[in-house]
Amino acid sequence: MAQKSSKVEEACKNCVKSKENVSNCNIFVIKVADALGVGNFFSGLNANMMVAKFSNPNAKAPFHYIGKNKNLAMQYADRGYFVLGGLTAGQMNVNKNPTSHQATMGHVVIVAPGGPAPASKVKLANGHMQPARGGYPYCYQGAHYSAYQFTDKTQVSCVFPKDHLDDIVCGYVAVAKADVALSPDLNVKRLLGIHVPENISEILT
């Protein structure tokens, strides 16, 4: 049976249709966050700043750290969480030949449910086909370069440097979730090592 879209994915599907919304990665995240009622936490942030908000194990609410565990990030996305993944410009330039093109901006995406994506070729917005490694999440995003301004979800392995795919850091933002059973949420929290009170009414969502 097909999985019912979460509020997060519905917001992504609506926002990705607008050329203005996908004109940059941080703009897209802000537009989706606005639709989910948490835009005030993203206002004025560029991609580097956004990644910094959730890439620390001591991230402050409403940002929560997942880390480099792409499988766990996909579990969260499948359960309707607002999951972000990204790299700062500095992280993308690690071990890069200093004479080659250097990233001047970070990149941040919204992890979509349904992963991992298969190895395939992805059609870019300019019609060119680009190989995608597979085994990584699907995502929605905006981009500075028009070739990567997709109008639907795409693959993480297509939009980040191939040498840094396993360096991508993920986190989630606590927003209201649709169609999410309580028990899977608690299981995911336990996988992360987060203390789950015996009295489930104490849990903040």
Residue-range domain boundaries for the chain? 7-193
Q: How many angstroms separate the CA atoms of 8 and 113, rounded?
A: 10
Q: Per-residue pLDDT tens for 49-91?
A: 999 999 999 999 889 999 999 999 999 999 999 999 999 988 8
Q: What is 7-193's CATH number, 3.40.50.300, 3.40.50.620, 3.90.1720.10, 3.40.50.10490? A: 3.90.1720.10
Q: How many angstroms separate the CA atoms of 15 and 68, rounded?
A: 26
Q: How many angstroms separate the CA atoms of 22 and 12, rounded?
A: 10
Q: Per-residue pLDDT tens for 95-128?
A: 665 655 666 789 999 999 999 999 999 999 999 9
